[in-house]
Structure 1
């Protein structure tokens, strides 16, 4: 669900309030709309395919990153997912309790914890991800299919640029 104001109303109000300030309004629109779109997509995916499996966005990201990179260290999952190790610990406990992931100490360095998918976790992701991708198709459907690769590349450019500076 969006806030009480539409995107157009918000943009008009911003211009009315800030119109006299020497600002780069196109840069503001890019950053603002990127943030708003990311939240809208995340909320949509949580309300649809993820809620059907009783998963939060964070839990899904942990499953996804582990599925792609297993075995993976917990610190790498937190870094890839963009959340704290404290948040990760709670999510891992939940996912482990559901039988989808397993943690083990690294044999090379006992201080490190590795995470692996269980067979049940792999089965979940194999069944879940096609439905997730159907929602990705829905989310991207307003964009001309011939322009989606270009749009994805623009988003990559923003991501790489910001990550280099942080």
Structure 2
């Protein structure tokens, strides 16, 4: 469980709070449980497999991207990992200081940077990934192989919807305006 209340308790509380609203409840339940499941999985994997090798989730994802795709320009690592450039800068520095990642200037444009795994990074991923996958199997063990495939297909459909229509929808909702810059949540004191 990712929070102090179970999924069932949360769904009952939401129903009680939003009972009179006209909502698309099945879709709300799907998206809310994607978030809850992702947070619970991430927390479990960080605490069981990643912490002993002193990796964060984001650090692991960056290593995974480089392990799968090989040497990659930082802007593409950012896209593949779903993180900001600033986050990648800090994570890459940490991984580089640990001897897991190396940086090199891009031959076509020296302003751009390429990241790649070192031999130590490759060796770590080869040791770590089987244990990571064992925990993926544990996490999904209440589902049959067929249910896992159906779930994966459903999640791919959600990702495809956002990749194909998300920008159009954002433009529609914001009247063509650019989104406001992200803020930390801090506001100036009065």
TM-score, normalized by the shorter chain, greater than 0.5: yes
- Normalising by structure 2, what TM-score? 0.85
- State the alpha-carbon separation in 2 of the partners of residues 15 and 88 from structure 1: 39
* 4+ residue runs over 6 A deviation: none
Q: CA RMSD in A?
A: 1.0
Structure 1: which 5+ runs fail to align? none
Pairing of 1:16-165 with structure 2 (within 5 A)? 16-164=16-164, 165=166
- Normalising by structure 1, what TM-score? 0.96
Q: Is the 8 A contact 2:102 2:118 kept in 1?
A: yes
Deviation of the 1:98 alpha carbon? 0.5
Q: Which has the higher contact order (CA 8 A, sep 6+)?
A: 1
SS where residue 111 of structure 2 aligns? coil
Deviation of the 1:70 alpha carbon? 1.5
Deviation of the 1:51 alpha carbon? 0.7
Q: Is the 8 A contact 2:72 2:114 kept in 1?
A: yes
Q: Is the 8 A contact 2:78 2:84 kept in 1?
A: yes
- State the alpha-carbon separation in 1 of the partners of residues 162 and 41 from structure 2: 20
Deviation of the 1:129 alpha carbon? 0.3
What is the CA deviation profile of residues 11-44 of structure 1, one whole-angstrom value per residue up to 9, with x for unaligned ones? 1111111111111111110000111001111111
Q: Which has the higher helix share?
A: 1
SS where residue 143 of structure 1 aligns? coil
- State the alpha-carbon separation in 1 of the partners of residues 128 and 16 from structure 2: 45
What is the CA deviation profile of residues 75-101 of structure 1, one whole-angstrom value per residue up to 9, with x for unaligned ones? 111111111111100100100001011
